[in-house]
Structure 1
């Protein structure tokens, strides 16, 4: 019984902490007027690559953008970047809220919880492939690897929890199917009937 509660607790706490961290990060990116300046190391490697990263910042790179057609190309690129960051942060915020609702409002819905674990794992794998250009020193990268490790621990814990629950259900069914044990007197009377 203790191990059941422990496995369930680990998987629920992991989902809750992951969702809370996701809400906090996405809110910071959502309200910031310059979200690319939050994780400087990660954004420099993403926008500029490893060759230019040491000598120029994202702000300096944006300032150098010029176009013959559009006079202020930097402001257009900034608006596009801002829209992309805000959209991503909003999606991340809504996904994190959904995870919190699942943890609190549907803790006994085992199928939904298992799908949440596997869905989060699939999203982390896709996120890792997409964000591969990010530097290992960036906040995004550190957060990603910690979430991936916690996801594996949480998912394995929840699978163990489901396995233990299935064993308990099977044992209960077997007990219900077994006939109740006979008393000593009933046993003796049955013997007499057989002898006669």
Structure 2
């Protein structure tokens, strides 16, 4: 009798434990699945946000690249003024002056006919060498002396080289030689004694 009751009790406990163990195992599997699912979902959301931010940055960059920059006025600050540098016209006269300056060793840069800063500096160097005021603007006489001396030296060809070789200042010295000849010729026509240091200035032309 007692044995039958004990057997029945053991069977009952066994039946009770089997479902409980299975339920506990199922619960652990569910909890592990929920945790893994949550982590995967968080990673997916993070990647989606990352891609969205990247697209937004690319759109802002394209917008800045295609939109012209505009000045935004700020309180207490004046808008910047636009300055335009006028272009220097190229002229045949300018080319003659530049060619002459370069020939005599006064660097006027590229012969383009535009009397810009480089040509002005070369004119000033020429004027100082000849004893004139270094204004950077040629007078009529200074310009004629410069360009006519260049044409004369070129036309003389090889004979000019012999004169240059005998001058202490080289090619530059031709200018003073030609100027003295001009002054001597003018003095003889007037019956006056030539003054090699004088240089008549006829008019004034700003170039």
- With the shorter chain as reference, the TM-score category is under 0.3
**RCO comparison, higher one (Cα < 8 Å, 6+):** 1
Between Structure 1 and Structure 2, the one with more helix by share is 1
